[in-house]
Amino acid sequence: MKPTLLLPILFALVCSFNTKAQTYYPLPEENAFWTVVEFDYITGQYNDVIYTVDGDTVINNLDYKIVYRLDDYPTIYDTISTLHCFMRQNVEEKKIWFIRNYLGETQEKLGYDLSVAVGDTISLPAFQYSIFDDSLFYLYRADSVNMSSLGELNGFRKRYVFVPIINQGSGLLIEYIEGVTDLRSTFPNLDTLYGYDAFHQSGTECMQVDGTYYFGSEPYEENCGFLAVGIDNPELSNLEVFPNPASRLLTIQLPEGFKHAGLLTIYNTLGEIVMQKDISASGSSFAIDVSNLNQGLYFLNINSSTTNISTKLIVKP
């Protein structure tokens, strides 16, 4: 399956804002699609899925929107749609609740509370998993992002960064752009076999509403939806990296006809560069040492004077 790169520029486009002067934006509730890369503990691989809001229902006398999960694994030819969760938003309170149907739950749990101030502690049980001893987070930062540089949505949107009270240095954050997406997964998810938090082993690649790309990397047609699997892209399918997962030496075989390779770049799921290497004199087959990288998902990109090719890379101990 084809990876995409979360834009590194995202984290350079932060500026201050006046919270009182901005309008609150809820998550879109129709014609919206989120393409997310998630880790599958059953297969031991990463897979791209799509979340969408479609329809509404009444539960316990409250109105909810229905969130579906779309998956093309393992066939890549048929889309599998499953009811994932229910979502309720309160614009006045700036809160979003979820009923985690995929876990068999029937009671709502708070997922986002955007009414709190920086430094406040808040319980967000919709994102409570076994990695945390409780569901307590605190709002570490509230700033804004220039969305016109990330898609076709003009202007700035608020960004909230929630840090868990437990495991504060783990980097397992809720990083939510108001009314757009969380940079990992907007909707809570959990691997039910191992009880591990798949929410923090994922990355949002693209958000699309009414045919407009609100968030993602260009070219959008390759980074949104199941086109991200890249089965019709011969350049991508012929880029070989092995072993994958890798723990030390990674061998890279460039596609036939791919000429003038210049720079190899490896990104983490936050879009941060963790390795760069000049490969202009390396030939079509070469090896790199990835033993200094932490365990997890990475995106490997190779550029030339005319094009770029990419693939997913998993590093294990």
Residue 211 has pLDDT above 50, yes or no: yes
Q: Which DSSP category does 294 fall into?
A: P
The reply to whether 35 falls in a domain is: yes
Let me know if residue 202 belongs to a domain.
Answer: yes
Which of 102, 113, 123 is closest to 38 using CA atoms? 102
DSSP H helices, the chain, are 220-223, 234-237
Q: For residue 74, give every residue at least 6 positions away whose Cβ sits within 8 Å of its Cβ, in sequence order, or none.
A: none
Q: What is the pLDDT of residues 51-61, one digit of tens each?
A: 999 999 999 99
Q: What pLDDT was estimated at residue 268?
A: 76
Indicate whether 3 belongs to any domain.
no
User: What are 111's two structure tokens?
Assistant: 């997922």
What backbone phi and psi angles, to 5 degrees, belong to 170?
A: -80, -15
Contacts of 126 (CB under 8 A, 6+ apart): 97, 98, 100, 109, 110, 111, 188
- Residue 70 counted as domain residue: yes
Is the same domain home to 86 and 215?
yes
Q: Mean of the pLDDT values across residues 188-194? A: 65
* pLDDT above 90 for 29: yes
In a domain, 252, yes or no: yes
What's phi and psi for 303, nearest 5 deg?
-115, 155
Cβ-based neighbour number of residue 209 at 10 Å:
20
Q: Are residues 33 and 63 in the same domain?
A: yes
Which residue type is seen at 277?
Answer: K
- 186 with 260, same domain: the answer is no
Tokens of 288: 């790199």
Residue 114 lies inside a defined structural domain of this protein: yes
- Residue finishing a domain among 229, 249, 268: 229
Q: Where does a domain end: 229, 252, 284?
A: 229
Count how many domains the chain has: 2
* Statement: the pTM of the whole predicted model exceeds 0.85: no
Q: Are residues 36 and 184 in the same domain?
A: yes
Given a contact cutoff of 8 angstroms between Cβ atoms, the answer to whether 132 and 5 are in contact is: no
Is the pLDDT at 4 greater than 80? The verdict is: no
Tell me: do 174 and 27 sit in the same domain.
yes
pLDDT tens profile 94-135: 999 999 998 889 999 999 999 999 999 999 999 876 544 568
Tell which of 181, 208, 229 closes a domain: 229
pLDDT(290) > 80 = yes
Asked, for residue 2, whether it belongs to a domain, the answer is no
Domain that holds residue 26: 8-229
| Per-residue CA distances from 306 to 102, 240, 276, 287, 310 (Å) | 44, 20, 19, 23, 14
